[in-house]
Each structure stands twice: as C-alpha cells, then as structure tokens.
C-alpha cells in the first residue's frame, strides 16, 4: 500500500491542474468538499490531476483563464482538450476521483445537497459529456483527503487523518 514515494511528486494546488508526462506521481492535499480528479491515458504515460472547488463556472467568468481550473465543468473541458490536442482521443482515457466530503454540517441555505456532493455530481456529468469513463471513486463522508496518483500502476492513494490510507 505504501508505494507513495517520499519525495518526488508534482504538487497540484487548489484551483489548478497539472500534467505528469514521465510517470512522476501527482499529489494534491487537503481535499474537503473539493474534488481531486485524475484523467490519464490507459496505456501511456500522460496523466493530469485537477483540484476542483466548485461545480460550475459562472457565465461571466468563462473567459477568465485564471479561474477555469476552479470549476468542474471548465476544468474537465480544458483537460480533455489538452489530451485531444496531443491526439489522444477520449476512448483512450480513464478517470478516478476522490473528495467531495462534507466536513462541516452546515446547510448553505440555498441548496439542499452539500457542495461536496454537487461537486462530485458535476465532475461525473462533465466526464460523461466528454465520454471519459470514471473507473473508481472515493467520495462523500465527512473527512478530508490527501491524494497521490501513481501513473505507473494507475493507483490513486487516499490518505486521511491519523495516517489512514487506502487505494482505488
């Protein structure tokens, strides 16, 4: 289980996505209601991890390139285009995701569903829209997650408080 390498990995910040081209591991920390999603080449080295905060980009922000990685719809769109531009079609891709927890039992007033739940749904919808199969997910609950993707094995390692760990 502990094939998470100690030192070398690419760190993905909040509201950002990054590509690993040479099987370097990708990591993002402290996902609460946020979603960490990996889209990767099923037989190949290229993998992308995104740290998404919210379901949908407001219409007046669609052109704001600084902000597109923050939202499920625009982030997934950009990542899929990134693969397509390198002649890797959707049918050669797969995805895994984790996060979408509800750490605080706060109702936002406007919505019945938690933001974490809506984030997970929005990622699924966007993946479906671009025909990228979601092979595994570990979403929901009330705990934060730090995730590491190993492109070599296509395993997504999930770490929670007190060092609790699993892989999908």
Partner 1 sequence: MNLTIDDRFEDMLKEAANIGSGRAVNSLSLLLGEPVSMKPVQLKVVSFQELMSEYGDKEEVMAASLLPFYGDLEGIVYLLFSQDDINALAGSLIGRSVTMKELETDPYMHSMLMELGNILSGAYISALADFTSLNMQTAAPSAAVDMAVSLWNEGLTYTQETQNEVLFLESEWKSASLPGGTASGRFLFLPDAASFQVLLRSLEEKIND
Binder of partner 1 out of 53, 79, 97, 127 (CB under 8 A): 53
* Min dist. Cβ of residue 62 to partner 1 (A): 12
When the beta carbons of 62 and 88 are compared against partner 1, the nearer one is 62
Alpha helices in the chain (DSSP H): 72-85, 115-129
Cα Rg for the chain, rounded, in angstroms? 15
**Site size toward partner 1, by CB under 8 A:** 34
* Min dist. Cβ of residue 45 to partner 1 (A): 25
Residue 67 interacts with partner 1 (CB under 8 A)?
yes
Residues between 83 and 102 that touch partner 1 (CB under 8 A): none
Residue 114 interacts with partner 1 (CB under 8 A)?
no
The DSSP call for residue 71 is: B
Binder of partner 1 out of 58, 89, 133, 152 (CB under 8 A): 58
Among candidates 16, 12, 15, 5, which has minimal Cα distance to 29?
A: 12
Binder of partner 1 out of 5, 23, 30, 89 (CB under 8 A): 30
Q: Please report, for residues 13, 36, 124, 153, the alpha-carbon distance to residue 118 in angstroms, rounded to integers and kept in the order given.
A: 21, 14, 10, 29
* Min dist. Cβ of residue 136 to partner 1 (A): 21
Residue 32 interacts with partner 1 (CB under 8 A)?
yes
Handedness of CA 168, 42, 117, 161 (dihedral sign): positive
Handedness of CA 109, 115, 117, 122 (dihedral sign): positive
* Min dist. Cβ of residue 105 to partner 1 (A): 5
* Min dist. Cβ of residue 14 to partner 1 (A): 4
Alpha-carbon gap, residue 131 to 76, rounded angstroms: 11
Provide the β-strand partners of residue 155.
150
By CB under 8 A, name the binding residues for partner 1. Answer: 11, 13-16, 29-34, 53-54, 58, 61, 64, 66-67, 70, 103-106, 109, 142-146, 159-163
């Amino acid at each position: 289980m502990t094939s998470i390498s100690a030192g070398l990995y690419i760190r993905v910040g909040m509201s950002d996505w990054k590509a690993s081209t040479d099987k370097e591991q990708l990591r993002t920390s402290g996902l609460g209601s946020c979603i960490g999603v990996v889209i990767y080449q099923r037989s190949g080295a290229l993998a992308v991890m995104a740290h998404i905060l919210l379901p949908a980009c407001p219409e007046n922000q669609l052109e704001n390139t600084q902000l597109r990685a923050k939202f499920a719809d625009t982030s997934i769109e950009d990542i899929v285009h990134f693969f397509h531009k390198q002649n890797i079609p959707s049918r050669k891709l797969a995805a895994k995701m984790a996060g979408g927890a509800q750490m605080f039992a706060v109702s936002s007033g406007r919505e019945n569903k938690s933001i974490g739940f809506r984030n997970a749904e929005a990622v699924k919808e966007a993946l479906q829209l671009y025909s990228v199969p979601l092979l595994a997910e570990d979403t929901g609950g009330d705990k934060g997650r730090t995730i590491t993707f190993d492109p070599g094995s296509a395993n997504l390692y999930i770490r929670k408080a007190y060092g609790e760990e699993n892989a999908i």
